[in-house]
Structure 1
Amino acid sequence: MPRVAAYPVDPLFVDRWSPRSFSGEPVPDAVLLSIFEAARWAPSASNAQPWRFLLSRRDDPAWADFTSLLQPRNALWASAASALILIVAERQVERRGEIVENVSRSFDAGAAWANLAHQALLLGWHTHGIGGFDRIAARQRLAIPEAFAVETMVALGRAGGLDGLHPDFHALEAPSDRRPLDQTVFAGRLGTPAFPAERSAA
């Protein structure tokens, strides 16, 4: 079933979803540069821009290292992507001349990832965030300094057909719905409705 927004939003936000079936076709530099440029303009606390992106394409020497990090079930589909992107975030930030822990690093890296995902869709490509991978091995194999937290991995590619997808995932290959706003937005305290009932039910 097609997704339907309850309130007016740009179709971009409803049309973005996370397929597991990818065609595996090469992704052009122009696409990659565009999606990373979109990520570059994400908001961040103190303009720290803590995110960094480690990129591997299917024909890169590092591809085997990236795919080896995936949990076996995720490897069944993500290894068919055109590129894998590992997102890390700098742990510390300078504020008023002092180096302190950047407590919003994951939040800010998430904003950059959202920009990247939406720009990819505008260019006809899809992304799928991956939490199931070995973060300890990623740090070791990709020589990630302790100054950076390993956040998440992203698969990028053109959407493919079910014929190229492991049968275990066929039933999942459709856009998922979202819970309604009256279960998400609250007035001051969890459980307190933020909007009148007649608006929530609109």
Structure 2
Amino acid sequence: MSRTPDHPIEPLFVDRWSPRSFSGEPIPDAVLHSAFEAARWAPSAYNGQPWRFIVARNGDAAWPLFLGFLTTRNREWAQRASALIAVVSNTLVERRGEIVHNGSHSFDTGAAWANFAHQALLLGWHTHGIGGFDREGARFALAIPEDHAIETIVAIGRQGTLDTLHADFHPQEAPSTRRPLVDFVFEGRFGAPAIPQQRSAA
């Protein structure tokens, strides 16, 4: 499947995709540290840095616990990942000396997750965000406070070959395309097409 951008961008952005086939090999500390360092520098409202990450590596004592959160279908392929990472966000933030609700906690944590995914790819590792899992089970088992939101679980690993993946997943094991800009970029009001044009400097 072709992944050709309509406008010039760095190859990193089209090269990143979410495979389900993983080799299962151990992930070095240096790779995780580098990816988390990239996440650390994501932008956030009031510099609240709401992201939190809880890691289980394949083979660790916590590994069966993390796999147990996943739906049966996701567990089928995620069991060969090198690590599973619960992505959590703090829903509160300090503003002018007061603790208040952070309306952008999920948005900001999404920025950190994107940084993580792209840095991992630069190091030769792929990631796959997982939405199908037991959030309340994860909250209890991982002792996640009530004022923190559970955003997703991320699988990370080296991409494996198709023979490591159940045949049911083979048709999906390819990078997906994206909608054109006209579908989601508007000008002036929602739904109004954005017409690219050269604007003179004021």
1:90 equivalent in alignment to 2:90:
yes
Aligned residue for 1:59, secondary structure, equals coil
Name the residue aligned to 1:3: 3
Aligned residue for 2:32, secondary structure, equals helix
Q: How many angstroms apart in 2 are the aligned matches of 1:13 and 1:120?
A: 12
Q: CA deviation at 1:196?
A: 4.8
Name the residue aligned to 1:14: 14
Name the residue aligned to 2:150: 150
Q: How many angstroms apart in 2 are the aligned matches of 1:41 and 1:22?
A: 27
Name the residue aligned to 1:193: 193
1:118 equivalent in alignment to 2:125:
no
Aligned identity (percent) is 68
1:131-146 paired onto structure 2 within 5 Å: 131-146=131-146
Name the residue aligned to 1:200: none
Name the residue aligned to 1:71: 71
Q: CA deviation at 1:190?
A: 2.2
C-alpha distance after superposition, 1:85-134 (max 9, x if no partner): 00011110011111110110000000000000000000000000001100
Q: How many angstroms apart in 1 are the aligned matches of 2:79 and 2:149?
A: 23
1:170 equivalent in alignment to 2:170:
yes
Q: How many angstroms apart in 2 are the aligned matches of 1:70 and 1:171?
A: 21
Q: How many angstroms apart in 2 are the aligned matches of 1:94 and 1:53?
A: 20
Q: How many angstroms apart in 2 are the aligned matches of 1:168 and 1:2?
A: 22
Do the aligned residues in 1 keep the contact of 2:2 with 2:177 (CA within 8 Å)? no
Name the residue aligned to 1:104: 104
Considering only aligned residues, what root-mean-square deviation do their CA atoms show, in Å?
1.0
Do the aligned residues in 1 keep the contact of 2:83 with 2:155 (CA within 8 Å)? yes
Letter matched to residue 85 of structure 1: I
1:196 to 1:50, Cα distance in 2 relative to 1, 3 A: closer
Letter matched to residue 7 of structure 1: H
Q: How many angstroms apart in 1 are the aligned matches of 2:141 and 2:174?
A: 34
Letter matched to residue 138 of structure 1: A
Q: TM-score with structure 2 length normalisation?
A: 0.95
Do the aligned residues in 1 keep the contact of 2:35 with 2:115 (CA within 8 Å)? yes
Letter matched to residue 74 of structure 2: N
Q: How many angstroms apart in 1 are the aligned matches of 2:147 and 2:192?
A: 40
Q: CA deviation at 1:142?
A: 0.9
Q: TM-score with structure 1 length normalisation?
A: 0.95
Aligned residue for 1:33, secondary structure, equals helix
Q: How many angstroms apart in 2 are the aligned matches of 1:143 and 1:126?
A: 28
Letter matched to residue 10 of structure 2: D
Q: How many angstroms apart in 1 are the aligned matches of 2:171 and 2:11?
A: 24
Q: CA deviation at 1:188?
A: 2.3
1:50 equivalent in alignment to 2:50:
yes
Q: How many angstroms apart in 1 are the aligned matches of 2:68 and 2:20?
A: 17
Name the residue aligned to 2:200: none
Runs of 4+ in 1 over 4 A off after TM superposition: none
Do the aligned residues in 1 keep the contact of 2:55 with 2:86 (CA within 8 Å)? yes
